A and B are shown apart, each in its own frame.
Chain A
Amino acid sequence: MEGLPILSLMLAVPLVAAVICLFLSAEGARRLALAATLVDFVLGILLWLNFDIGGAQWQFVEAGPRLGFFSWSLGIDGFALMLIMLSVFLMPICIGASWRSVTNRVPEYMAAFLLTEVLMIGTFAAQDLFLFYLFFEAGLIPMYLIIGIWGGANRIYASYKFFLYTLLGSLLMLVAMIYMAQTAGSSFIPDLQAYDFPVHVQTWLWLAFFASFAVKMPMWPVHTWLPDAHVQAPTAGSVILAGVLLKLGGYGFLRFSLPMFPEASGQLTWLIFALSAVAVVYTSLVALVQSDMKKLIAYSSVAHMAIVTIGLFAFNQQGIEGAMIMMLSHGLVSGALFLCVGVIYDRLHTREIARYGGLSINMPKYAVLFLFFTMASIGLPGTSGFVAEFLSLMGTYQRSTWFALLCTTSIILGAAYMLYLYRRIAYGEIKSDEVRGMSDLSGREMWLMAPIAAVVLWMGVYPESFLAPMRSDVAILMQRVDRAAPPSDSRPTPGNPAAVAALKSHEAHEEAAPGEAH
């Protein structure tokens, strides 16, 4: 694999396909888009296989020409690798999900999705501050078009809100980036991660980045664009929005805020914790009373993303690993849940929960998969959600017991709103003839959801596969931010010394007399 610019190739394949799509018929565009995303997925697998775990921090580095203010430098670490994998994994599923449901202006639709893929991969792979910004911000254009052209009834309002909200946040970040590049004399991200800005400057820079990432994340109280965007977007748009685009915020905190402004991060941890705790409790309660399925899942996304932010700012290994797994897990699970909504929406053309009921009777396969993803969202052991919430909250507990306590309600409230949703949709009697006429999952739909279910299980049972590539990066990050870690109110002690001693002597006694009955 040496010498092959695999990252550039992963960007070029969907880009070229997007341009060609515009000149094809609907059917041709669908096939080409699927082929291009599958090629990218294969390239992604090659990337993962060739990633040297525990090797250099930055791998697959490509240093391209410098164009005025930015250079074409790509390279990934473990975090980026995992998020790129998530993107290329979800992308063919998104294309598949739109196979039948999108019939209007298909070539443009496919081109917009392929362009989104280019921009997402580019955002994660960029090693230059401004290259990152270009990809990060450009993602607004295709998403604006996807929501605005193929969205629901209130799509125009939602598309404006999405665009302007996120634009305003990012522009302040741009000013901060310009300042950083001029002060540090470099726009190369690894250089900046090693540069120490004065503490009072860090605070301002941190806030500017926070403005952008908090909106993207989204954190309470700037989350209000998300329910609108999700509800109005087509199914595949929701999947990609929840699956990958929300991860840009968390990725930004991980890549910029923490390593570049460790002191400011330490000082402002309270802000993150407070906003996250409010988000967990408030948005979970809001999710509980929704009558629209997509809106409910959108609010649950906000609550889950709050678990990501507290994990990231826990300043310890469990917290950061948990946050990363949460991002991956949420990407898969909420993506799958939006697909589940899409499946029944395609049949009945309503997202109103009250219109459904008793689907487990006539759609057993669907009911099983939906239940599985519901459980994964709640965080049932054995699914990826459990690993994510457990690690995140454990990390948080070491930093702040009170916030850990507050945020753990996410599991209880999550169970409440998800099970309530499931009960209303799948259980009970079938109320109307139109519901009775709904057919179970088709082969195509099975093919969309089964792979996600497999990966969710894999991540839940053996998370080491996903944690291993990131471990050395977490260590490097910890090394960098440890000096600024805020004080902790949890003071773990070794336990009662007398009891420990007694236990030890008891064990010694046991070993000496193996045959003794207890």
Chain B
Amino acid sequence: MDYAANLMLSLPEVILGIGAVILMMFSAWGGPGATRAVSWASVAVLFGAGVALTGPAGHGGDAYLGLYHADAFAAFAKVLIYIATAVAIIMAPGFFQRTAGDNLRPEYPVLMLLSATGMGLMVSAGDLLTLYVGLELQSLAAYVLASFMRRDQRSAEAGLKYFVLGALASGILLYGVSLVYGFTGTTLFRGIADAYAIDAANPVKSLGMVFGLVFVFAGLAFKISAVPFHMWTPDVYEGAPTPVTAFFASAPKVAAIGLAVRVAVEAMGPALGEWRQIVIFAALASIILGAVAAIGQTNIKRLLAYSSINNVGFALVGLAAGTPEGVAGVMTYMAIYVAMTLGSFLVVLQMRDADGQPVESIASLSGMSRTRPALAAAMAIFMFSLAGIPPLFGFYAKFAVFSAAVQAGLFPLAAIGIAASTIGAYYYLRIVKTMYFDDPAPAFVKGEEGALQGGLIALAAVAVSPLGYLAIPALGAWSMAAAQALF
């Protein structure tokens, strides 16, 4: 395969990388005044990368001697990542403009683009080194984004925490990678899979491989914030600027889950019995801890952080099945989750007091159904959907993963996981209760960018409303095609 063909297969990353570099130059000379133009140009670049997925980059196969996979699975994840990144860029100007402190700078969209490039590499990785490079590119951009409000102490703290713990996670992951490389003799996923398949018959030698596997999964669990490696999530989510939090809760989550699924199935598929235990534990622990710990929260961003831990647990239920249906369930889950979580954060962005400063306490939502009925209705839809109550679309997400788990014969996992979702329903209901049953608090003031953000909220609300069921045939077929690419 010549180099041009390889480049064509990785066209989305090429577009994003070049776009980011050009826009960086542009913002370096343009200064803060160029922010708006650079933001919209970044969205255009993301759109271009998305369009590139329709070409060979979406289904072309291996590139760079197997280091990079351009398959349907990567394409599915990338579409979600690009959409989430674009929304996170679009929602930022309104937030920074009216928040006292730092203004939005053109670096913000550029960092987002770089992060998206890294995430694209993560979900396309066919080799442990591609994996690591993608992960670090994404993470480094994310550390800066978390502390983007330089004068805000919480933001700086969030960035620092994220950096220290992220570095620790990378270390654990690298240690696992080195073990896997040492015992299998290759970093290519395919080669690793072959090594695991052969060594299943030779338990003495495979002990090192199992160690490697455990460390790799621990490192990945950090990135997807699955229990017991979730501790950084609430602090980082609370401290980071809200648009960045929305970004963290959506795009990198999809990328990390996609990466975990790819490593689990493509590289370590033959060791299903080994990693399934880890995944089941992480899934149940995340579901239960994410639900229980969220009950006491008074800050909406912290609550959504625990909600994201909880949701990762549900997505992992599909991975535990280890079947194409399970992987399709995970991807379906992430698609619906992105819509729900972005919608919720868009509503959080609307929460501003009379001075236009953001408020984050759940109590300030009191009686919103009377002061801002449409916004309250949208938030109620997102909350019921996150809780997985039919007929909202979030139910289908849970249905897809639990259906796969039942099919794989994992009845205790399905029964415990689904029963524990009742605990989660409690704190989602609490938001609805605050908005609908309590006496009104001072109303939130409307922003200038109301129309754009309102449109996005409406779009997300329609997507997770019962109308979303009409998308099931398409979503099902697409996620199944994505899953088949790994098997």
Which A residues are closer than 8 A to B by beta carbons? Answer: 66-69, 105, 108, 130, 133-135, 137-138, 140-141, 144-145, 148-149, 155-156, 159-160, 163-164, 167-168, 171-172, 174-175, 178-179, 182
- Give the number of chain B interface residues (Cβ < 8 Å): 33
Number of A-B residue pairs, CB cutoff 8 Å, is 85
Of the residues B370, B390, B415, B470, contact of A172 by C-beta under 8 Å = B415
The answer to whether B399 touches A171, judged by C-beta atoms less than 8 angstroms apart, is: no
Nearest CB on A from B396, distance (A): 7
Of the residues A137, A140, A172, contact of B418 by C-beta under 8 Å = A172
Nearest CB on A from B40, distance (A): 35
Q: How far is the CA of A66 from the CA of B437 in the complex (A)?
A: 37
- B455 in the interface (beta carbon within 8 A): no
The answer to whether A163 touches B429, judged by C-beta atoms less than 8 angstroms apart, is: yes
Nearest CB on A from B427, distance (A): 11
The answer to whether A179 touches B426, judged by C-beta atoms less than 8 angstroms apart, is: no
Q: How far is the CA of A140 from the CA of B415 in the complex (A)?
A: 21
Of the residues A69, A155, A156, A179, contact of B399 by C-beta under 8 Å = A69
Nearest CB on A from B117, distance (A): 33
Stretch at the interface among B62-70, B159-167, B257-265, B401-409: B401-409
Nearest CB on B from A203, distance (A): 14
The answer to whether A155 touches B396, judged by C-beta atoms less than 8 angstroms apart, is: no
Which B residues are closer than 8 A to A by beta carbons? Answer: 369-370, 384, 389-391, 395-396, 399, 402-403, 406-407, 411, 414-415, 418-419, 421-422, 425-426, 429, 432-433, 436-437, 469-470, 472-473, 475-476
22 A-B residue pairs with CB within 8 Å: A68-B469, A68-B472, A68-B473, A68-B476, A69-B399, A69-B472, A134-B390, A137-B390, A141-B389, A144-B429, A145-B436, A156-B433, A159-B433, A159-B437, A160-B426, A160-B429, A164-B422, A171-B421, A174-B402, A175-B402, A175-B414, A178-B414
Of the residues A156, A160, A171, contact of B419 by C-beta under 8 Å = A171
Q: Which one of A156, A159, A160, A174 has the highest number of Cβ atoms from chain B below 10 Å of its Cβ?
A: A174
Within 8 Å CB of A134, what residues of B?
Answer: 390-391, 395
Of the residues B384, B419, B425, B473, contact of A67 by C-beta under 8 Å = B473
The answer to whether B391 touches A138, judged by C-beta atoms less than 8 angstroms apart, is: yes
Q: How far is the CA of A179 from the CA of B409 in the complex (A)?
A: 9
Within 8 Å CB of B421, what residues of A?
Answer: 171
Within 8 Å CB of B473, what residues of A?
Answer: 66-68
Residue of chain B at shortest CB distance from A179 = B406
Residue of chain A at shortest CB distance from B474 = A68
Within 8 Å CB of B411, what residues of A?
Answer: 175, 179
Known: A168-B419, A168-B422. 10 other contacts (CB 8 A): A68-B469, A68-B472, A68-B476, A135-B391, A137-B395, A149-B437, A160-B426, A172-B415, A178-B399, A178-B402
Of the residues B384, B403, B418, contact of A171 by C-beta under 8 Å = B418
The answer to whether A148 touches B433, judged by C-beta atoms less than 8 angstroms apart, is: yes
Nearest CB on B from A122, distance (A): 9
Nearest CB on A from B429, distance (A): 6
Q: Which one of B406, B415, B469 has the highest number of Cβ atoms from chain A below 10 Å of its Cβ?
A: B406
Within 8 Å CB of A133, what residues of B?
Answer: 390
Q: How far is the CA of A279 from the CA of B240 in the complex (A)?
A: 55
Q: How far is the CA of A105 from the CA of B440 in the complex (A)?
A: 13
The answer to whether A67 touches B436, judged by C-beta atoms less than 8 angstroms apart, is: no
The answer to whether B472 touches A141, judged by C-beta atoms less than 8 angstroms apart, is: no
Q: How far is the CA of A167 from the CA of B421 in the complex (A)?
A: 9
The answer to whether A178 touches B406, judged by C-beta atoms less than 8 angstroms apart, is: yes
Residue of chain A at shortest CB distance from B438 = A156
Within 8 Å CB of B476, what residues of A?
Answer: 68
Known: A137-B389, A172-B419, A174-B402. A67 touches B437 (CB 8 A): no
Within 8 Å CB of A167, what residues of B?
Answer: 389, 422, 425
Nearest CB on B from A145, distance (A): 6
Q: How far is the CA of A134 from the CA of B392 in the complex (A)?
A: 9
Q: Which one of A68, A130, A144 has the highest number of Cβ atoms from chain B below 10 Å of its Cβ?
A: A68
Q: How far is the CA of A444 from the CA of B26 in the complex (A)?
A: 74
